[in-house]
Amino acid sequence: MKLFTRKRLSALLGVVLISLLLAACGNSAPTNTTPAGGQNGKGCTKVGVLLPETASSARWDGNDKPELSQRIKAVTGQDVDYYNAEGDDAKQQTQADAALTKGDCILVVAPKNASTSAAIVAKAKARGVPVIAYDRLIQSKDLNYYVSFDGVKVGEIQGQYIVDHYADYTKSANNLAMINGSQDDNNALLFYQGATSKLQPLIDSGKLKKVYDQYTPAWDNDKARTEMDGVLTSQNNNIQIVYVANDGMANSVIAALKAKKLNGKVLVTGQDATVAGIQNILTGDQAMTVYKPIPQEAQATADLVKALKDGTDTASLTNGVVTKTQDGGSIPSILKLPIAVDKTNIKDTVIADKFVTVEQICANLPKGTGGIC
């Protein structure tokens, strides 16, 4: 009887032990950590696209969203899960969490904040989800890819335009104001680096006198107007050149100049080739913008998504180009070339590419404006 009891007890203990071991294995990780497409994006058809805002530039919802949505769907066969942070860093973090919880197995992120968005990369990496930083770099060595335009080149184009044309505006004085982008956006730092590399020799020689130089938090257009009003007040309206990092802020700067009847008399730069920016060029209130063909950027992103989905090598896409991050990373990158646009080549660039239409840019402008309307 004792032997029978011992045997039954031993068997019972064995069953309990096996059950505990199985339970421990089953609970070793949260059930939602495996993405729908498997690890590292292979087989992935659920892609999350996270863009940063809509307030400072019309491009994000007007150009990037439809281009990315269309081109990634052509690769995966599914609509993307789309999110826009509306300028809120914490909101973008929450949106990324939601995308991962839904099972998105590749993330395309244009970060609101280059540094804090590293947390998105860390969470994605823990789940085997690759992250492609789109247009703006994420400062994380664990970032998988970066697709953008050459940011330093953008700034060089803006700065070189001033170098080539400043003399037309500086007959009596030579005051330069610089209204830069948002310092938490790595692109703004690159634009500034490129622009100053061209402008500094003119400043050092005294041909230009820099009287204002500030970053503008969140690329805030209203803040740019306030900045320009302050510059005009402090300089008694004596301003000849305004380097402005993008078209949205340039439009605000032009509003400040109009209030003083100085529009068209001051060289104003821009970027993004927005409808408003092109209109300002046609009317003579803005000298130039930088055209970044967003379809190229979106297609490069879709090409990476396809390679990840198919499990194929991406070396032929990145061609050995890398971008350094502040924590020592070397991120495989695709960097497209930007294009300078002024009144001389609007037809051959943004109109020829159907980036904007004649109907869009001529809306509410007098017939004959800029030789296009």
DSSP assignment of 294-353: HHHHHHHHHHHHHHHHHT---HHHHTT-EEE-TTS-EEEEEEEPPEEE-TTTTIIIIITT
Q: Model confidence at 19, in pLDDT bands (50, 70, 90)?
A: very low
Is residue 342's pLDDT more than 70?
yes
Residue 284 has a CB neighbour count (10 Å cut-off) of 13
Is residue 26's pLDDT more than 50?
no
Residue 262 has a CB neighbour count (10 Å cut-off) of 18
**Domains of the chain: which residue ranges?**
39-149+293-336, 151-292+340-371
Q: Model confidence at 33, in pLDDT bands (50, 70, 90)?
A: very low
Residues 6+ apart with CB under 8 A from 265: 169, 257
The CATH number of 151-292+340-371, from 3.90.79.10, 3.40.50.2300, 3.40.47.10, 3.40.50.1980, is: 3.40.50.2300
Is residue 143's pLDDT more than 50?
yes
Q: Is 210 in contact with 176 (CB distance < 8 Å)? A: yes
Average pLDDT estimate for 222-247: 98
pLDDT at position 20? 44
pLDDT at position 116? 96
Could you tell me the sign of the dihedral formed by the alpha carbons of 228, 234, 239, 243, in that order?
A: negative
Name the average pLDDT for the chain.
Answer: 91
Residue 336 to residues 106, 173, 280, 297, Cα–Cα distance (Å): 22, 37, 25, 7
Residues 6+ apart with CB under 8 A from 220: 55, 56, 182, 249
- Token pair for residue 43? 């087989």
Q: Output the CA angle 98-101-106, nearest 5 degrees.
A: 85
d(CA 155, CA 172): 26
Q: Model confidence at 56, in pLDDT bands (50, 70, 90)?
A: confident
Q: What is the pLDDT of residues 73-125, one digit of tens each?
A: 999 999 999 999 999 999 999 999 999 999 999 999 999 999 999 999 999 99
d(CA 345, CA 370): 11
Residue 70 has a CB neighbour count (10 Å cut-off) of 15
Q: Is 266 in contact with 257 (CB distance < 8 Å)? A: yes
Mean pLDDT is lowest, of 14-28, 296-310, 354-368, for 14-28
d(CA 68, CA 137): 17
- Report the topology of domain 39-149+293-336: Rossmann fold (3.40.50)
Q: Match 């092109």 to its residue by tokens.
A: 278
Q: Match 């769907």 to its residue by tokens.
A: 73
d(CA 351, CA 365): 17
- Token pair for residue 116? 């804090």
Evaluate whether 39-149+293-336 and 151-292+340-371 have a shared fold.
Answer: yes
pLDDT at position 9? 44
Q: Count CA within 13 A, CB hemisphere, residue 19.
A: 6
Mutual orientation of helices 65-76 and 294-310 as an angle, nearest 10°? 30
pLDDT at position 4? 42
Average pLDDT estimate for 126-135: 97
User: Which residue blocks in the chain are alpha helix, DSSP H?
Assistant: 2-26, 59, 65-76, 89-101, 118-126, 151-165, 186-205, 221-234, 247-259, 275-283, 294-310, 315-318, 358-362
Q: What is the dihedral of CA 107, 112, 114, 117, to 10 degrees?
A: -50
